Amino acid sequence: MKIYQAELHVHTVLSPCAGVEMIPPLIVQQALQSGLNLIAITDHNASENVPAVIAAAKGEDLAVLPGMELQTEEEVHSLCLFDTLEQLNALQKVVDDALPDTPNNVEFFGEQYIVDETGTFIRRKDELLINNTRLSLEEAFRIVTDLGGLFIPAHVNRQAFGLIYHLGFVPPDLDLQAIEISRQITPEKAITTYPQLINYPLIQSGDVHYLADFLGVNQFLMEEPSIAEIKKAFRGQDGRWFRLHPPLDNFSSLNITFGY
């Protein structure tokens, strides 16, 4: 068993709202300097830079999960995490078919760069990525789950693209393994404000758009950095556990553990 300190919501320069410094080698460098050994790359409705980050992390003590931040027709963001690029590519094909063919307005939204493992420019993504797909939340959940992935509604407490704001509740018929809250709220406050969240493990992410955004307070005890092991940790199965373990200068009184 090994403890994994994780940030599961990291953007690259492919996301138009991300900083120009969000290139693979700097992402890997900052993650390691932040004491992390597990990250997930989750660009908006896109995945082309995931292989480059995986390549940049080769030989380092840093596991990189392939992922995407998918935007549903309800204007809800969710993290879609996988074990393999093949699974992610299968989701990408569905998303490409479900994403409106709207050109990106670079001056308004920002550039969408596809890069290699060194951060060298390859090409621009011309279609606007920050857009609703034609997939409902339930459809997206089923597709990701059927592919063997992990579906986590993102920053649910936020008005912008948050599940609770847009739907008013967490759909009870979806077998969600965990829910993400933003860095702007403590878990205690989130549960007090939205009592239904007490029924779910809560991850907390930096929603990393700039190198300074790494939070990395998600801690897992697992055999390996895989979707199956993460699910076990959320459920507290077979000695695995998950907890929010924040820096002492953030929420020093907090130590919420799932699995004990």
Torsion sign across C-alpha atoms 20, 206, 181, 81:
positive
Domain 2-258 listed as CATH 3.20.20.140 = yes
Domain segments of the chain as ranges: 2-258
Mean pLDDT of 165-170: 86
Residue 9's nearest CA partner among 31, 33, 32, 35 is 31
Given a cut of 80, is residue 216 above it in pLDDT? yes
**Per-residue confidence at 246, pLDDT binned at 50, 70, 90?**
low
Mean pLDDT of 19-36: 97
DSSP run (H or E) holding 231: helix 227-235
Which residues are 194's β-sheet partners? none
What per-residue confidence (pLDDT) applies to 11? Answer: 98
Distances (CA, A) of 70 to 134, 198, 236: 11, 24, 27
Q: Is residue 81 within 8 Å of residue 145, measured between CB atoms?
A: no
Q: How many CB atoms lie within 10 A of CB 247?
A: 11
Mean pLDDT of 184-210: 94
Question: What does the pLDDT look like over 87-144, one tens digit per residue?
Answer: 999 999 999 999 999 998 888 889 999 999 999 999 999 999 999 999 999 999 999 9
**What are the two backbone dihedrals, phi and then psi, of residue 66, each rounded to the nearest 5 degrees?**
-70, 135
